[in-house]
Amino acid sequence: MGSSLFQESVTACEECDLVHHIPLLKRGERFVCEGCGHTLVNFREHVEKRIFAAGISSLLMGLFAIVFPFLGFSSNGAERSISLFDIINVLITQDYLILSILISLALFVFPLAYLLTIVLLVWSFHNRHISLATKRYGARCVIVIQPWLMVDVFLVGILVALVKMNSMADIQLGLSFWAFCAYVLLLLQTVMLVDRRWLWNKVAGQAPEHRISDRPQQAKRQGLIGCHFCGALLADTNRHCSRCGHTIHHRHPQSLVTTMAFLIAAVIMFIPANIFPIMHTTFLGGNEPSSIMEGVLLLWSLESYPVALVIFFASVVIPLAKILSLSWLCWQCYYPTERETLQKMKLYRITEVVGRWSMIDIFVVAVLTGLVQLGNLISIFPGPAVLSFAAVVILTMLAAASFDPRLLWDTRISAPVLEHKE
């Protein structure tokens, strides 16, 4: 592959299974699936240098965010200041171990693992001493971790927590807060620059070449399998991808059964998540529990209408809508309606993208717990609904990940490209 061109012979779309010839792409160009409109390759300008620069900068900002004071507040003469680590320490000392693990993964483990891995991968492209097995393992880590990066959601959760506290105390933003904002923006920039097919092309070379039909068809109909992990096209006699080593299937085994199992578990956990308190507030010796909806109503009464709507949609509407949407999509795989498959795909993409934003309420509770600890004067503690609601979010994300959108196209009589052209 040349330094200014991206070259891949053929690939299959991971969302509709349509096989494509990929033309020679120049920097700044992208290639979109004819059938479903999914972006298959996005070859950006000076991508390696930009990933390396953004990744290193994000790591530095993350380090500054840990070192300096993060937030502070004062109420009735009492003051308190915390760092990001203090949020974890408070949760651990109060025996909220599972919640502290979730926050640690979201704040430190996943983002730092992603950044370090992608920076080392880009560096390894120019170092022949790094083995192919090591590069493959690193690329797999990047692909697996990426959907679980939530620092941007955590930042929004911080802002919501500050709005909640604004009526009770004076808030101070430390140097770490601004470093954390830069850390989030640079991490998002790094993620946007990483294209899956480009990454695997650099790590393990160009995918195997195959003769394909002149008429656009699904890989399954041509005796081929598209690797869902790296985009390589392989003969259906293979069980493992020759480029990335991942197990390959025409369709995810037991996709619908697994998706429905996760959704049923999410529905079960959704009940206690909305019945029990998600947060306890101790103020002047009195204990006031509040559920998710009570928190929304409190923000509304404080005239924080935008924040109240954000929490309502993120914590109530999105989880319910995601459960209903994925259930309907599973139903469509068995009993398809006349509704266009492209519309179903848009619904699937929306549910996949917005699901993680439901973690806002969990992060709000974690930030308030770490910040507001002044004994009987005023203190905040997580309620029993926290873990139930976190389980709802994780289960719905797993449900979306286990659903194979290619099944929606299998229910169509005609090829996807024909529907697209109509």
pLDDT at 327 (0 to 100): 94
Q: By mean pLDDT, which of 58-72, 147-161, 220-234 is the weakest?
A: 220-234
Closest CA to 177 of 72, 79, 280, 38: 72
Res 75: pLDDT:
65
Query: Is the pLDDT score of 55 beyond 90?
Result: yes
So what's the pLDDT on residue 122?
92
Identify the CA nearest to 306 among candidates 173, 162, 160.
160
Least confident residue range of 36-45, 372-381, 393-402: 372-381
User: Is the model's pLDDT at 415 over the cut of 50?
Assistant: no
**Which CATH topology does 252-414 take?**
Butyryl-CoA Dehydrogenase, subunit A; domain 3 (1.20.140)
pLDDT at 303: 72
- Is a pLDDT exceeding 60 seen at residue 347? yes
Report in angstroms the alpha-carbon separations of 296 from 304, 307, 315, 321, 413.
9, 8, 10, 18, 47
Q: How many helices (H) and strands (E) would you count in the chain?
A: 17, 14
Residue 377 has pLDDT above 80, yes or no: no
Give the Cα separation of 398 and 395 in Å (integer): 5
Q: Is the pLDDT of residue 5 over 60?
A: no
- Averaged pLDDT for residues 141-147: 93
Tell me the average pLDDT across 35-60: 89
| Weakest-pLDDT range from 137-151, 220-234, 395-409 | 220-234
pLDDT band for 414, please (50, 70, 90 cuts).
very low
Q: Is the dihedral angle over the CA atoms 49, 60, 124, 44 positive or is it negative?
A: negative
pLDDT tens sequence across 206-264: 777 777 766 778 888 888 888 888 888 888 787 888 888 888 888 888 999 999 999 99
Give bridge partners of residue 25 from the DSSP assignment.
6
Q: What is the mean pLDDT of residues 257-275?
A: 94
- Weakest mean pLDDT among 104-108, 290-294, 418-422: 418-422
Phi-psi region of 223 (alpha: psi -120 to 50; beta: other; left: phi over 0): left
In the prediction, which pLDDT does 418 show?
38
pLDDT at 422: 36
Domain boundaries defined on the chain: 252-414
Q: What is the mean pLDDT of residues 66-75?
A: 81
pLDDT tens sequence across 170-182: 778 888 999 999 9
Q: For residue 283, with 0-12 CB atoms within 10 Å meaning exposed, 13-18 middle and 19 or more buried, which class applies? A: middle
Percent of the chain with pLDDT over 90: 32
Q: Distance between CA 323 and CA 325 in Å, rounded?
A: 6
The most confident of the ranges 24-28, 192-196, 209-213, 214-218 is 192-196
CB 61, CB 84: distance < 8 Å: no
| Per-residue burial over 103-133, b = 16 or more CB atoms within 10 Å of its CB, e = otherwise | bbebbbebbebbbebbbbbbebeeeeebeee
pLDDT at position 337, please?
Answer: 77
Q: Alpha helix (H) ranges present in 146-244? A: 151-166, 175-193, 196-204
Whether residue 302 is predicted with pLDDT greater than 80 in this model: the reply is no
CB 392 within 8 A of CB 269: yes
Distance CA 204, CA 225 (A): 18
Q: With a cut of 90, say whether residue 56 has pLDDT above it.
A: yes
